[in-house]
Amino acid sequence: MKVRLHGFLTACILTILFGCDSQRDISPPIVTITFPADGAPIEQPVNIIAEVADDSGPPKQVEFLVDGEPLATDDSPPHEYFWDASAWADNKDHSIQVRALDEADNIGSDQITVTVVKPRPRISLLSDGGGSEQFQIILLVEEELYVDRILVVQRHAGEVDQLDEQPVDKTFQNLDRIVLPSENEFYECVPGDWEIKIFGETRVGFRVLFKWESAVKKIRRQCPG
């Protein structure tokens, strides 16, 4: 009986001195990544933005991770990190995680997956041949790149009239011109929409880092007569 009473008194004294264990903060912060959206394609540097809510007040620390690798910490709202995703540009999925630590060392987190898109090459349309009956399409290369082939599609009344696939297999330097169909040949004018798509590779020496395809360049063709 004395042993039980002694244990009860000890428990009461500890509760008075240190507080009840049930009052200790064990709830983790609630973390929500608000930007970018889960599953979104990333083509350029982006701000990762997160909201953190916790009953005990502002978080002690917020950490930003990509593929499990810590990149930055933040300790005051708004919680955001400017992420230059160029080193991850491989057309594959990558995880973004934001973790928050509160004053009681509880940890909450949110995670999304994004696709980091390879940068498209810089190629501009220099001339579409105007309204000539016979014409050439001239493209201007704005960086060094290797072009494998070029696809030219002619559409009339919504239907594909002709597909012209030009093998190129050449590395171009900055400000080089690409002439279609070739330096000494011309297209015959077909009214309607013309679409140009360029396929190539990004290389370092003889090593191919990845293959790419350009955005479609569109030309609305009006023929004389």
Q: Residue 179 in contact with residue 136, Cβ under 8 Å?
A: yes
Domains of the chain: 25-116 (2.60.40.10), 123-221 (2.60.40)
Residue 8: predicted pLDDT: 45
pLDDT number for residue 132: 84
3-state helix, strand, coil in the chain (%, to 5): 10, 55, 35
Q: Tell me, what's the pLDDT at 220?
A: 86
> What is the pLDDT at residue 204?
60
Rounded Cα distance between 183 and 171, Å, is 17
The confidence score (pLDDT) of residue 162 equals: 76
For the sheet with 30-35, list strands across it: 30-35, 46-53, 79-83
Per-residue pLDDT tens listing for the chain (225 residues):
444 445 444 444 444 444 445 577 788 999 999 999 999 988 789 999 999 998 888 898 999 999 999 999 988 889 999 999 988 888 789 999 999 999 888 999 999 999 888 777 788 988 888 778 888 999 999 888 889 999 999 887 777 877 889 899 999 998 999 999 988 999 888 888 889 999 988 776 676 767 888 888 888 888 876
Query: 0.75 cut: is pTM over it?
Result: no
- CB neighbour list of residue 40: distance below 8 Å, 6 or more residues apart: 114, 115
Predicted confidence at residue 104, as pLDDT, reads 87
Do residues 218 and 194 touch, judged by C-beta distance below 8 A? yes
Phi and psi angles of residue 2, each rounded to the nearest 5 degrees, phi first: -65, -35
What is the per-residue pLDDT for 55? 84
